């Protein structure tokens, strides 16, 4: 009998019936986009750039700000405006998308990784306090999955140690301003308009502030190649081209008009998932997570003690058998080669959540019947993997 040959036959997958995310684009977005197109102002100047610059800050409770090309660019600009550079340390959460951890590296600083808390998945102020050294300049708090971090404690901690606080609000746009007010506690806050965010301009970002309007001119200068106003080809220092376009801002203007409706629709989707998955919570196949301040992505947490195989096998079955896309929680930053040196202690909560978490389809347009279909298929897949 000859050696076994691996089966390389491609798997047949069901067509994607439910993507994990989908932008909500309608006639208003088309009309404003075509208006910008017809104006001839398609680059970094135009009426829609001016409108977004004027109207977005008050929409999120800020006093001033500037738009830019992405949420990552916004973080870069924030750290530049704050004067962060080589020799400085910046404390960031271990469980996050990579952009907040990369931002210190972009200015020559060192990211230091703090664990998150089990009950709210946000950066742990107690771990932040443990990590502060004479080289620490500031803290980046990420409102992961629309769950606003403990800003009161972080602000008090930063004030005691003379540190700045930057809020990454990329996933928290639409959270109530009267409650924990994301974007209002840090010297600067950053926002993202990527295609899967609550509001989208395709790509795009924003830097805002409520209390430090004096920092915005510096962010604006770095954003625009440090051009000296009213002087052609004169640049004050090294700068970047992080300018958003009038076409993108036209799309964003239409989206901004629908923020309240989008927020309410996402809240209804969250509630529908919670109801549909209640039995699975009861049998502890799934573990409950914190209720988000705004539902960016619905987060399902598989009970690792009941799961003999990886969470990724559940996701693969969900896609292959039912055409339902999903997305795992981000890998902890300490597991990425270029960030591993930032680990200065145990990061167990981040690692555990990363292994167990899965995002299910979340976008405006999902009906309660769709959510019930997705939830039932998801529970079936979890049960199949547990039984395997």
Task: Place 59 in a pLDDT band, splitting at 50, 70 and 90.
Answer: very high
**Token pair for 138:** 């500031």
Please report the pLDDT score of residue 214 as a whole number. Answer: 98
| Boundary (domain end) residue, out of 256, 276, 307 | 256
**What pTM does this model have?**
0.94
**Token pair for 332:** 């902890």
Mark whether 276 and 214 lie in a shared domain.
no
4 pLDDT higher than 50: no
57-83 average pLDDT score:
98
**Token pair for 98:** 């990579």
**Domain of residue 373, residue span:** 259-387
Counting Cα atoms < 13 Å in the Cβ hemisphere of 79 gives 31
Sheet arrangement for strand 327-328: 286-287, 298-302, 357-360, 327-328
| Boundary (domain end) residue, out of 213, 234, 256 | 256
Task: Place 178 in a pLDDT band, splitting at 50, 70 and 90.
Answer: confident
Counting Cα atoms < 13 Å in the Cβ hemisphere of 281 gives 13
Please report the pLDDT score of residue 294 as a whole number. Answer: 97
| CA dist., res. 161 & res. 132, Å (int) | 8
| SS3 category, 281 | helix
Pair 76, 93: CB distance under 8 Å: no
Mark whether 60 and 136 lie in a shared domain.
yes
| Boundary (domain end) residue, out of 256, 272, 296 | 256
Pair 190, 71: CB distance under 8 Å: yes
Mark whether 208 and 319 lie in a shared domain.
no
Strand-pair partners of 190: 168, 207
| CA dist., res. 153 & res. 161, Å (int) | 13
138 pLDDT higher than 50: yes
Pair 98, 68: CB distance under 8 Å: no
93 pLDDT higher than 90: yes
* DSSP string across 96-114: S-HHHHHHHHHTT-EEEEE
């Amino acid at each position: 009998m000859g050696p076994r040959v691996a089966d390389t036959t491609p798997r047949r997958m069901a067509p994607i019936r439910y993507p994990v995310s989908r932008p909500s684009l309608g006639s208003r977005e088309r009309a404003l986009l075509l208006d910008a197109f017809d104006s001839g102002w398609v680059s970094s100047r135009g009426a829609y750039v001016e409108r977004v610059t004027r109207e977005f800050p008050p929409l999120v409770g800020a006093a001033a700000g500037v738009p830019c090309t992405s949420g990552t660019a916004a973080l870069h600009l924030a750290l530049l405006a704050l004067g962060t550079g080589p020799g400085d340390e910046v404390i960031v959460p271990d469980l996050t998308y990579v952009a907040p951890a990369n931002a210190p590296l972009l200015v020559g600083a060192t990211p230091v990784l703090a664990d998150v808390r089990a009950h709210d998945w946000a950066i742990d102020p107690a771990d932040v306090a443990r990590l502060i050294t004479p080289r620490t300049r500031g803290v980046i708090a990420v409102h992961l999955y629309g769950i606003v971090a403990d800003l009161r404690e972080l602000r008090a901690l930063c004030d005691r140690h003379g540190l700045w606080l930057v809020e990454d609000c990329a996933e928290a746009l639409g959270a109530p301003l009267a409650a924990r007010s994301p974007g209002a506690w840090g010297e600067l806050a950053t926002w993202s308009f990527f295609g899967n965010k609550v509001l989208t301009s395709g790509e795009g970002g924003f830097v805002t502030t409520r209390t430090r309007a004096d920092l915005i001119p510096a962010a604006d200068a770095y954003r625009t190649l440090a051009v000296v106003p009213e002087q052609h080809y004169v640049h004050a220092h090294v700068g970047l081209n992080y300018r958003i376009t009038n076409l993108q801002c036209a799309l964003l203007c239409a989206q901004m008009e629908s923020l309240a409706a989008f927020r309410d629709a996402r809240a209804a989707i969250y509630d529908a998932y919670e109801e549909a998955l209640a039995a699975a919570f009861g049998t502890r196949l799934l573990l409950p997570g914190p209720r988000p301040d705004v539902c960016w992505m619905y987060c399902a947490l598989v009970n690792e003690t009941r799961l003999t195989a990886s969470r990724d096998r559940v996701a693969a079955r969900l896609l292959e058998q039912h055409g339902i896309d999903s997305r795992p929680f981000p890998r902890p930053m300490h597991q990425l080669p270029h960030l591993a040196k930032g680990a200065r202690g145990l990061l167990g909560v981040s690692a555990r959540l990363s292994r167990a978490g899965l995002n299910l389809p979340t976008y405006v347009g999902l009906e309660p019947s769709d959510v019930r279909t997705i939830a039932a298929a998801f529970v079936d897949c979890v049960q199949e993997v547990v039984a395997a």
